[in-house]
Structure 1
Amino acid sequence: MSYEPQQPRPDYRSQGPTGPGGPDPRGQQYAQGGPHAQGPNGYRAGSSGPRDDERTVAVLTHLAGPIAAIVSVGWLGFLGPLIVWFVYKDKSPFLRSAAAGAFNFNVTMWLVNLVGWILLFTVILSPVGLLLIAAYWVLLLVCHIMAAVRAGRGVVYRYPMQLPILR
């Protein structure tokens, strides 16, 4: 074992056309604050999609609606997306649109559920009320699962029917 000072190894990862220590082939992205520097739209520089943590929050936003609806028997499904919208509305355009879409869809479905329950207590229209309540649960679960899958991929999901309350 030798105690002589060793020469530093060349960094072969940054080899450009001129060899080690030449120009960085990764471009100006690193000169502007590293590989994870944010651009003006909130996304990474050189990237066209949301960050991983934004995707995770968007998935949780879409799943908060059905989870809260199950816990509250269909009455508070809009609360989770509303909280996420208030927290992230000025921080991330991806999370803002995901939370706004989930909230608008949940409010619309809440109104469908309310009408279904009102019709359920009438004698003549109770079958229509049952159909509306069943449609509420099916649409709620299917649309939110599809939205969570797309949010995991970094794609904004447009719900099929929603009242435009938040933007």
Structure 2
Amino acid sequence: MSYLPPSASRPGEGGPGPSGHGTGPGYGHGAGQGPGYGYGTGGPAPQYRAQGDDRTIAILTHLSGLVGALISVGWLGFVGPLVVWLVHKDRNAFLRATAAGSFNFNLSMWLLNAAAWVCLFTVILFPVAIVLWLVAGVLLVVCHVLAVLKANKGEVYRYPLQLPVLR
């Protein structure tokens, strides 16, 4: 049995979210779980429901990561989600989990891009660099498109291959 703070509710029970905004199911989470993540708990990630303009902000969060990465050739994809996380992390758990997941994934893709550049400059690993760039590019586009579709439904998308930096 997990401990819930008095201000949180279990998914499906209604009540205010962790920051006191909104009522309805899906804003509570157990001890040891960050919003949208089940790291170290062994259980499934809590489900959040978006309210109002939260879905639009979540869609823009995912798109900002993709557009930032494409414009900067893979170097600044994490900036947009980081800004959204800093601005909206206390608004509600849905936006916090969305921005954190997008930032963590884009940071992982940034590291993959950096590794590809290192491989490029060691001439013998040039083919590895090409493969890393292809993998990063495909993952970046496919995962962000899937994340936008989930955000449009008001659901949090769990990105693969993400380093849990923000929660």
Could you tell me the TM-score, scaled by structure 1's length?
0.73
Distance 1:76 1:161 in 2: 18
- CA displacement, residues 111-164 of structure 1 (integer Å, 9 cap, x when unaligned): 000001110122211100110011111100100110010011011100011111
Match runs of 1:82-121 below 5 Å = 82-121=82-121
**2:52 is matched with which residue?**
52
SS at match of 1:84: helix
1:73 aligns with 2:87: no
User: RMSD between aligned alpha carbons?
Assistant: 1.7
How far is 1:43 from its partner?
4.0
Give the percent of matched residue pairs that are identical in Structure 1 and Structure 2.
54
Q: Do the aligned partners of 1:109 and 1:140 also contact (CA within 8 Å) in 2?
A: yes
Greater C-alpha Rg: 1
Change (3 A) 1:50 1:130: same
Give the whole-Å Cα distance in 2 for the aligned partners of 1:116 and 1:56: 33
Pair 1:162 & 2:162 matched: yes
Find the aligned partners of 1:162 and 1:144 in 2 and give their Cα distance.
Answer: 13
Corresponding position: 1:40 with 2:16: yes
User: Is 1:122 the counterpart of 2:98 in the alignment?
Assistant: no
Matched residue of 1:125: which SS? helix
8 Å contact 1:44–1:51 — kept in the other structure? no
- Supply the distance in 1 between the matched residues of 2:120 and 2:22 (Cα, whole angstroms): 47
Contact 2:25/2:49 (CA < 8 Å) preserved in 1? no
| Separation of aligned partners in 2, 1:103 and 1:114 | 16
Give the TM-score of the pair, scaled to structure 2: 0.73
Structure 1, unaligned stretches of length 5 or more?
1-37
**1:77-135 per-position Cα deviation (integer Å, ceiling 9, x unaligned):** 00000000001101110000000000000000100000011101222111001100111
Counterpart amino acid of 1:40? P
Cα distance in structure 1, aligned partners of 2:77 and 2:133: 14
What is aligned with 1:140?
Answer: 140
Structure 2 alignment gaps of length 5 or more? 1-13, 27-47
Which amino acid is the alignment partner of residue 89 of structure 1?
Answer: K
Distance in 2 (alpha carbons) for counterparts of 1:98 and 1:118 = 30
Secondary structure of 2:162's aligned partner: coil
CA–CA distance in structure 1, aligned partners of residues 71 and 136 of structure 2: 15
* Number of matched pairs: 130
- Could you tell me how far 1:49 is from its partner in structure 2? 2.1
